Amino acid sequence: MKDACLISRGYKQIYQTVLGELWVRSIAEPRQPAEVVATDLKECNDATNRWSHEGWKQFERCMTPRGYGVSLH
């Protein structure tokens, strides 16, 4: 929940996915509440194929339409 809270306040935060660490930040205005961010992070993480080298792109494609920026660094 700490990550979701920071992301909801506009910080770029490292989030631990099934694939490893990714940077996530909210780009939606107004920013989503922390509970919404936490739900989005979990749903997109659960939908990511952990056995694919393209998995982080799946996570990014899930998060982007929800109002987030995702990057490896």
Instruction: Cite the DSSP H helix spans in the chain.
Output: 2-8, 34-46, 55-63
Find, among 4, 16, 5, 18, the residue nearest to 46 by Cα: 18
Contact 17, 43 (CB under 8 A): no
pTM of the model: 0.89
Identify residue 43 by its one-letter amino acid code: E
Q: Which of 53, 39, 47 is nearest to 66 (CA)?
A: 39
The structural domains of the chain, with segments of one domain joined by +, span 2-71
Per-residue pLDDT tens, the chain, 73 aa: give them. Answer: 899 999 999 999 999 888 888 999 999 989 899 999 999 999 999 988 877 777 888 999 999 999 999 998 7
